[in-house]
A and B are shown apart, each in its own frame.
Chain A
Amino acid sequence: MSVNQVSVFLENKPGTLNKMTEVLASHNINIRALSLAETSEFGIVRMLVNDVFEATNILKENNFVATLTSVLAYTIEDKAGYLNNLLEKFSEANVNIEYMYAFAGKEHAYMIFRVNDTKKAEALLKSKGLKSLTQEEIAAV
């Protein structure tokens, strides 16, 4: 199962990221993981939050461009070599990664992957013995 990520467009100037976190904070949205891609003029925030629909709605109401993107999330052990094991499966399945980021939970670490064709990649990786996390599972960690 894929997971919904909130992607937000931000201008690359002081205060814009803070304006976004302010909106989320005021609606009690908890950010679980966040990554930021930037160019000299704009940035794209990608994040996992506890309530994706509420988060996108309030961001839109506050004049942000925010969309939902399907990403794949996998658990890895918080130990040396586990990311390598995971990526070997991606290589074997010939899945190209557009971007990825990580966050650590209480017991495990989690990797988030954006791939070209989420459904196809998920099936291929499943055949290699990798099970992706569901929205509920991610929310519970």
Chain B
Amino acid sequence: MGNYFQEEIECAPIEKIKALQDELLPKQVRYVWENVPYYRKKMEAHGVTPKDIKSTADLYKLPFMSKADLRDAYPYGLLAVPLKDCVRIHSTSGTTGKRVIIFYTQEDIDLWNDCTARAIVAAGGTKEDVCQVAYGYGLFTGGAGLDGGSHKVGCLTVPMSSGNTERQIMFIMDLQATIICCTPSYAAYIGETFKEMGYKPEDIPLKAGIFGAEAWSEEMRHDIEKTLGIKAYDIYGLTEISGPGVAFECSEQKGMHINEDHFLAEIIDPDTGEVLPEGTQGELVFTALDKKAFPLIRYRTRDICTLTREKCSCGRTHVRMTKPKGRSDDMLIIRGVNVFPSQIETVLMNNGYAANYQIIVGRVNNTDTFEVKVEMTPDMFTDNVGEVQARRKVLEDGLRAMLGIKAKVTLVAPKSITRSEGKAVRVIDTRKI
């Protein structure tokens, strides 16, 4: 059972973790109050000052933060350190097309890398392993996050990034990679490609996979485990809080342990904001306890899940969260990318279409399909097929530029998009997750 990266903290008695959180929270609240005017204003408006926060029991007194705050404060408004102390940014899409930029100091990166290192070790990783990181590298936190963890563990890190599947397979075989990190849909795709190339699971050197950034079902886990001949581990995170590794699965695979020495988790009622007792399903809220550059307090993830403190036989004591069961907003995660319907609306409006559309998301061969139906308008119509196709292409290119993933645009007849009780049905998601 001894697969720990930082055993003294991962397996610390609950009382010790609580004591650490009780010590860190008041300090962190004072830190943001003193360094981030946006927070100070928000707390003042809420009638709370750092004096009111003596321990985690006072957490409920603090105001929530949401993606809207990140947008309002874009780009530097939530920065708590001078820019010269920052060493990196990552970015994720925002609700109205404006991206969210998160800053990191070297300390922030170190603590984040510790978290992903814990995930890799929990999946059986040691310095003997060859760890292929097939998450995208770049603004997305997937590649950099697992890359950093893999270095901390001392694995031989193969920084593949995503795509070029045959080259991925060549490196897995030639370097005898034992761990792979990517989105579950890409893992499934790699598995299918292995099969097509004539490899059997026993021919594949991989033993474990760390998969996250999108929702996946138990069926999908079994499929991936079977085709690749590995054990598949889930990992959770969000760029706003640091990136993947906020929580990770252990060998028991009964929920993901939240790294509570860095991230304080709450479950709230998404409608009232009221804190819910342990074991109740609700919206996950995080407070980063010791981040320096971009320290979010009570950040609403919009992910719906349940927390449990039941003893885990892996030996870790940190609270476990279930896989997110859904969202309390309308965000979709498609091929690992956050997609808000409002972003699609923006692209349509910018191109002169009425905002009448329908998003159809499905899953074929474990890969998300993404179609946007757009109602034809007199302004967009011409009698020339090539011209109509070209306009459709302009929309596809616009969506790709906005979202970073490809959507298939289908032009449909006016008023053909299903309306129920006068309200158009904007999203049809047939994925079974």
Contacts and interface: CB of A to CB of B under 8 A. Distances in A.
Contacts of A39: 385, 389
Interface string B396-433: 00000000000000111111100000000000000000
Interface string A45-66: 0100000000000001001111
Count class of interface residues, chain A: 20 to 34
Contact of B383 (A42, A60, A64, A69): A69
Nearest to A41: B410
B281 interface: no
Interface in B324-383: 376-378, 381-383
B384 interface: yes
A119 B415 CA distance: 35
Interface in A84-141: 98, 114
Count class of interface residues, chain B: 10 to 19
Contacts, number: 51
Given A9-B413, A11-B416, A63-B413, A46 B383 contact: yes
A44 interface: yes
A44 to B, nearest CB: 6
A33 B338 CA distance: 49
B385 A44 contact: yes
A9 B376 contact: yes
A65 B376 contact: yes
B388 interface: yes
Given A39-B389, A65-B377, A67-B378, A16 B383 contact: no
A37 interface: yes
B410 A16 contact: no
A41 B411 contact: yes
Q: Which interface residue of B383, B410, B413 has the most chain A CB atoms within 10 A?
A: B383
A2 B103 CA distance: 63
A7 B383 contact: yes
A10 interface: yes
A75 interface: no
B378 A44 contact: no
A67 B387 CA distance: 15
A98 B389 contact: no
B413 A65 contact: yes
